[in-house]
Amino acid sequence: MLFPLNGEAFGLCVGSAALTILILAATRWRGRAARIAVGIGASAAIGAIANLQTYSFLTAVYLASFAVAAYGLVTARRWWLWALSAALIPLLFLVGPRVAENSSQLIALMLGLTPAIPGLIYILIKSRGLAAIFFAVAGLAAAPSVVGTYLGLANGDPFLVYRVASSKDLGVPILTGVIASIVLAIPLILVFLAGIHQRHRLWIAYPVGVAIAWILLAGNDRWGANQEPYRMWIDSFMLIATTLLPVLLAVARRYLSRGDQPVPVKLPLSPREARPGSAPEPEAEPVESPVGRRSRLIAIVAVCLVLAVAALSAADWARFFVANLRAQMITLDSPRQLAIAEAIEGIDDDSLLLVDPCIDPLLVKATTGVPIAWMNYGMAWPEEYQSVLDYMASRGQEGVLDLDAARGANAHWLVTDSECDPSWADDYDDHLELVDDVTVPGGATISLWRLT
């Protein structure tokens, strides 16, 4: 996810930092003023991500909202609130598709936060409304992009309408998603069990909240939103991995440190604490249970399990790191690219350009800017997109030129490399008229053809 170094990578880094600082502030900092200041700063950072990249913003909002809501439910200790939140999840799967169909998928995405509402309302009440400042700051920071997107959809902006309609069939297969999540699911379960054992609110709420948010985001195609669930699965993976680390280290330290004294944790900004001049409220969190020898041995085995699964999972990263696919620097002014650009100068209309299987269409587009018969699902589509898709499929799977698809896509030009196998210049010479030849110094000949 970080490899492209694009807006999403930046947004995820900002979200990871903000969420991690919130966790550390809630568990380590005792100053109320400092916690409020950090909360406002982190909320602003999370909201600002909306103006950088949509999916990293949505993922950070979901994870933060559900984790905070779960913390409120754990603090409240009212089973009817837990039951209400749980009941809202299947209701989302029933109502969400109808909301998306009758209004918009943007509204459906907002609807996906409804299971967190009971816990968030409790947090608002418990803090006497002070938590509303954090929600408002995040909303104001995100407003330029969110409001602009909503107005664009309401006014029928062509790109936004296309973008919403094109995001489909991008779900995460359940079995694949579960298997790939094991590396984080195991430590999340262990943190939850440690929270139950130690009666630690954050250790109970954090894994429950982020796990539910992860499941809802990765399955958003099943409850109506249908906005790139595979990408939200990956974004959630990164944000959970980075925020889970300090929590996991705190749990390990508690169980493996013999001289560590238990430090109870309470809900920040309780009603009495929020009242100026009042005495501190008595600690509401039960004191953590002592760690016996058996618990310590279990913790050692659990840490070894987490490390082993993480090491096994890192094999994917190792294979990616040593892969040669696109690992070289991309040179846009190589002799070959300059020869292709020179040959293309013979194009005298606005019809689409085709390239043979040995020429990279993306590099041709980058170096020349000519209209080219190519498309990405996540980007703008050409008008005759189905013909372009047919041409791309035949070119990539069989190495052949689908002339009918090319003509249907309004493509009148073709660029070939004389050293390419298959040689489209030879295979389709009855349908080609040579326009120009440019020789690469010491190498192949680049040819521009007109389709007859």
For residue 65, what are its two tokens? 């909202």
Residue 207 confidence class, pLDDT cut points 50, 70, 90: very high
Of residues 320 and 56, more confidently modeled:
56
Q: Which of 68, 79, 74 is nearest to 116 (CA)?
A: 68
Task: Please report, as a single letter, which amino acid is at residue 12.
Answer: L
Task: Please report, as a single letter, which amino acid is at residue 307.
Answer: L
**What is the tens place of the pLDDT at every residue in 98-154?**
998 887 777 888 999 999 999 999 999 999 999 999 999 999 999 999 888 888 878
147-182 b/e (C-beta count within 10 Å ≥ 16 → b) = eebeeebeeeeeebeebbeebeebbbeeeebeebbe
Residue 414 confidence class, pLDDT cut points 50, 70, 90: very high
pLDDT at 63: 97
**What is the tens place of the pLDDT at every residue in 55-87?**
999 999 999 999 999 999 999 989 999 999 999
DSSP 156: T
> What is the torsional sign of CA 215, 219, 224, 227?
positive
Q: Which residues contact 238 (CB under 8 A, 6 or more apart)?
A: 1, 2, 12, 16
pTM above 0.85, yes or no: no
Contact 438, 339 (CB under 8 A): yes
pLDDT at 100: 86
Residue 94, Ramachandran bin (φ over 0: left; ψ between -120 and 50: alpha; else beta): alpha
What would the DSSP string read from start to end of 380-429?
PPPTTHHHHHHHHHHHHHT----HHHHHHTTEEEEEEETT-SS-HHHHTG
pLDDT at 288: 54
**What is the tens place of the pLDDT at every residue in 330-343?**
888 899 999 999 99
pLDDT at 289: 60
264-289 b/e (C-beta count within 10 Å ≥ 16 → b) = ebebbbbeebbeeeeeeeeeeeeebe
315: exposed, middle or buried (C-beta count within 10 Å: 0-12, 13-18, 19+)? exposed
Alpha carbon distance 109, 41 (integer Å): 25
Task: Please report, as a single letter, which amino acid is at residue 2.
Answer: L
Q: For tokens 């035949």, name the residue.
A: 394
- Residue 262, pLDDT > 70, answer no
Instruction: Look at strands 411-417 and 445-451 and give their pairing.
Output: antiparallel
- Residue 287, pLDDT > 60, answer no
Residue 281 confidence class, pLDDT cut points 50, 70, 90: very low
- Residue 265, pLDDT > 50, answer no
CA 370 centroid distance within chain: 32
N-to-C CA span, the chain: 44
For residue 226, what are its two tokens? 């249908």
Q: What average pLDDT score do residues 269-283 get? A: 42
For the chain, the average pLDDT equals: 87
Of residues 328 and 407, more confidently modeled:
407
pLDDT at 286: 46
DSSP H or E stretch at residue 250: helix 229-256
Q: At what angle do helices 79-102 and 117-126 cross, to 10 degrees?
A: 120
pLDDT at 273: 44
Q: What average pLDDT score do residues 167-176 get? A: 82
- Residue 264, pLDDT > 80, answer no
250: exposed, middle or buried (C-beta count within 10 Å: 0-12, 13-18, 19+)? buried
For residue 429, what are its two tokens? 């010479």
- Residue 168, pLDDT > 90, answer no
Q: 38-42, 100-104, 270-274, 407-411: which has the minimum mean pLDDT?
A: 270-274
pLDDT at 88: 96
Contact 429, 401 (CB under 8 A): no
β-bridge partners, 408: none
- Residue 255, pLDDT > 50, answer yes
- Residue 190, pLDDT > 80, answer yes
Q: What are the angstrom distances between the C-alpha of 316 and each of 241, 304, 313, 446?
A: 16, 20, 6, 38
Half-sphere exposure of 356 (CA within 13 A, CB side): 21
**What is the tens place of the pLDDT at every residue in 216-231?**
999 999 998 888 899 9
Backbone angles phi, psi at 268, to 5 degrees: -65, 150
Task: Please report, as a single letter, which amino acid is at residue 63.
Answer: L
- Residue 300, pLDDT > 80, answer yes
Residue 160 confidence class, pLDDT cut points 50, 70, 90: confident
Alpha carbon distance 67, 46 (integer Å): 14
- Residue 318, pLDDT > 90, answer no
Residue 268 confidence class, pLDDT cut points 50, 70, 90: very low
**What is the tens place of the pLDDT at every residue in 352-378?**
999 999 999 999 999 899 999 998 866
Contact 416, 449 (CB under 8 A): yes
3-state SS class at 7: helix
DSSP 45: H
- Residue 260, pLDDT > 60, answer no
pLDDT at 70: 96
Could you state, in order of their start, the residue ranges of all structural domains in the chain?
Answer: 7-320, 335-451
Q: Is the peptide bond before 276 cis (omega within 30 degrees of 0)?
A: no
